Amino acid sequence: MAALLEIRDLEVDLFTRRGVMRAIDRFSLTVEHGQTLGLVGESGCGKSMTSLAIMGLLPMPPAKVTGGAILLEGRDLIGLSDTRMQAVRGREIGIIFQDPMSSLNPVYTVGYQLTEVLRRHFKLDRRAADRRALELLDRVHIPDARRRFDAYPHELSGGMNQRVVIAMAIACEPKLLIADEPTTALDVTIQAQIIELLKDIQRESRMGMIFITHDLGVIADVADRVTVMYAGKKAEEAPVGVLFDDPRHPYTRGLIGATPKPGEERRRRLVEIPGTVPGLSDRPKGCAFANRCPLVFERCRVEHPALINQGAGHEAACFLATETEDYNVASVGA
């Protein structure tokens, strides 16, 4: 059976006045049926641009997919007409964006926006669409669903609006759900509720999910596999337990060192990764992480490392990935 989603050597370029800039560079990943893949990295790493490429929502111009393939159960989505991609969005792939207020139209009620999805894809009459929409609001644990159905987005809290967005994303029971930092705009208590809701929905429906975040603490709780992305490339990928027990890329070690761990003393000093992700016009010739890496040596500055297979579904793009020395996580970023 073909994988649910397979991205092969994806390339996305931005065509600007300063020239053509490579935003996503030969990036690959695979999501199996019923699997949750965590996609991790700092802002500017290319996570959201990858999700927009999957959905066919890249702003063109300036962005354009210039290479690779995006296969949904073996069917390449790149090059599909707008009409055919509109049928894929929502029906086969759902997406949740990080800011619910920018995902909902302020001049239409919650019920109207939810039933619009159902009527478009399933051709339901109004009564059937209303009934299904109320069921969805109940499923995402919105209290007093009948009253919320007639409310406008500004009348609901941020957490409520995000639940509405989730209901819209799963309305057509898609095969794949992309959650793009779905808890960033919410307070900590609501974040935990939304994460548990998404886990419950994924378990019940057995849909595949890509959970995009910069927070490795969240990934440890939700993902089966993790892909670490840096400057438009894959830095490391492994099953979630393997990644946390044996990270091989210095960037991954840095992210783990910067993540608070439950049960540890509150006073524990989190380790900062110095510097920032290089901009599109500042990408170095060699490894993009070289100017921030405590383990850098000359080869790193002139040659970009290929992904090295570590066994057990684990790969890392680092010249030192196969070294047996156990580098201290705390040293990365120190």
pLDDT digits (tens, 9 = 90+) for 162-221: 999 999 999 999 999 999 999 887 888 899 999 999 999 999 999 999 999 988 889 999
pLDDT at residue 329 is higher than 50: no
What number is the average pLDDT over the span 101-112? 94
Reading the block at residue 75, the tokens are: 């069917």
State the Cα–Cα distance between residues 65 and 298, nearest whole angstrom. Answer: 33
Specify the 3-state DSSP secondary structure of 33.
coil
Q: Strand 314-316 vs strand 225-230: parallel, antiparallel, or unpaired?
A: unpaired
Residue for token pair 């089966």: 224
Closest residue by Cα to residue 161 from 187, 142, 174, 179: 142
Mean pLDDT (the chain) is 91
The continuous run of DSSP H or E covering 7 comes out as: strand 5-16
User: What is the C-alpha to C-alpha distance for residues 300 and 235, in angstroms, rounded to an integer?
Assistant: 14
pLDDT surpassing 60 at residue 261: yes
Adjacent-strand bridge partners of 234: 229
* pLDDT score, position 264: 58
Look at residue 265 and tell me whether its pLDDT is greater than 60.
no
- Name the CA dihedral angle for 208, 210, 215, 217, rounded to a multiple of 10 degrees: 10
209: nearest Cα among 99, 114, 95 = 95
pTM: 0.92
Q: What tokens does 180 get?
A: 């793009």
Residues 104-108, mean pLDDT to the nearest whole number: 96
DSSP letter assigned to residue 192: H
pLDDT in tens, 3-55: 999 999 999 999 999 899 999 999 999 999 999 999 999 999 999 999 999 99
Percent pLDDT > 70 in the chain is: 94
